[in-house]
Amino acid sequence: MAERVQRSALVVTVSNRASAGVYADDSGPVVVDGLRGLGFSVDGPVVVPDGDPVEEALRDAVAAGYDVVVTNGGTGLSPLDLTPERTRRVLDYDVPGVPEAIRAAGVAKGVPAAVLSRGLAGVAGRTFVVNLPGSPGAARDGVQVLSGFLAHAVEQLHGADHRRAGGNP
Question: What's the pLDDT tens digit per position in 21-58?
Answer: 999 999 999 999 999 999 999 999 999 999 999 999 99
- Which pLDDT score, from 0 to 100, does residue 71 have? 98
Which 8-state DSSP code applies to residue 74? -
Quote the pTM value.
0.92
Burial class (CB in 10 A: 0-12, 13-18, 19+), 69: buried
Question: Is there a contact between 117 and 98 (Cβ–Cβ < 8 Å)?
Answer: no
**How confident is the model over 64-113, as pLDDT tens digits?**
999 999 999 999 999 999 999 999 999 999 999 999 999 999 999 999 99
Question: Is there a contact between 132 and 102 (Cβ–Cβ < 8 Å)?
Answer: yes
Per mean pLDDT, which of 116-120, 158-162, 164-168 is the most reliable?
116-120
The 3-state DSSP class for residue 130 equals: strand
**Count of beta carbons in the 10 Å neighbourhood of residue 104:** 14
Taking the C-alpha atoms of residue 99 and residue 9, their distance in angstroms, rounded to an integer, is 18
- Which pLDDT score, from 0 to 100, does residue 160 have? 80
Beta bridge pairs of residue 129: 69, 122
- Which pLDDT score, from 0 to 100, does residue 161 have? 74
Taking the C-alpha atoms of residue 75 and residue 120, their distance in angstroms, rounded to an integer, is 9
- Which pLDDT score, from 0 to 100, does residue 6 have? 83
Query: How many CA within 13 A on the CB side of residue 40?
Result: 27
- Taking CA atoms, 122 is separated from 57, 88, 94, 114, in Å, by 16, 9, 4, 19
